[in-house]
Amino acid sequence: MADVSSPVWFITGCSTGFGRELAKLTLDRGWPTIVTARDKSRLADLIAGYDNALAVDLDVTDQAQIDAAVKAAEDKFGRIDVLVNNAGYGYQASLEEGEENEIRDMFDANVFGLFAMTRAVLPGMRARRKGHILNLTSQAGFIGFAGSGYYAATKHAVEGFSDALAAEGAPIGIKVTCVAPGPFRTDWAGRSLKQTPVKIAEYQETAGNRMTATAGYSGQQPGDPVRAGEAMIKATEAQNPPRHLVLGELAYNGITGKLAERLAEIESWKDVSLSADFPK
């Protein structure tokens, strides 16, 4: 059973990237932390020397593994205070050339797996009337880049889900934050990104060029994943945590620019929008 003064963290997708760096930070703080990966043997070095760690196998597309992981966490630490839905990956293709099996597999991990993981921890948080859920989205949750339409769709779905979750959770003490990073120096492009090459010439300058740039950008991104982890922890410690935590200058500029552009367009069509109602 964990000390009530120390938050219990449950982080999905800890083999690399944001999940691993965040787990290092929570473990170093002495907080009980459940770290997960499809193969928990990949986490041996991460948890070595920590008695506040629990490593479990977890494929978020497998309901039985989700249930077993949550039970193991609650059996060892008594509760889950912070859930970080980090597991997932990217898939790029022009929309016309997207492959059905690749699209569905990504939705299973990024969307339906996140939904299932969240449902599994909600009963405990609801009973305690306390909890914080961090959903890793992306700047793609606000911006649909050429070549990343299906990936953006998964992140848009998580944003909509999180809005509803925040509305339902607020009266019972459950907080929700979507974390929207821009480009960060993880191995996402090298390990967690699948692509279907562009073969249709008309999409080469849009989807094709962006896909090439994404793959070639790995290791040069401006974002620091350790600083990102610190920012996530800071959000959970806030009395009024943000509903959206945007990480990195590129994401901040891109998202705020897109929202301003969208609002300006909606306002420019205000008269037409209001004309759709029955006359008063």
The catalytic residue positions are: 151
Q: Is 201 exposed, middle or buried (0-12, 13-18, 19+ CB in 10 A)?
A: exposed
Determine contact, residues 193/92, Cβ cutoff 8 Å. yes
What is residue 223's DSSP assignment?
Answer: B
Residue type, 269: W
Between the alpha carbon of residue 144 and those of residues 103, 141, 270, the distances in Å are 15, 8, 24
What is residue 8's DSSP assignment?
Answer: P
Rounded to whole angstroms, the Cα distance separating 95 from 97 reads 5
User: Left, alpha or beta for 131 (phi > 0: left; psi -120 to 50: alpha)?
Assistant: left
Strands (E), 151-267: 174-181, 193-195, 244-247
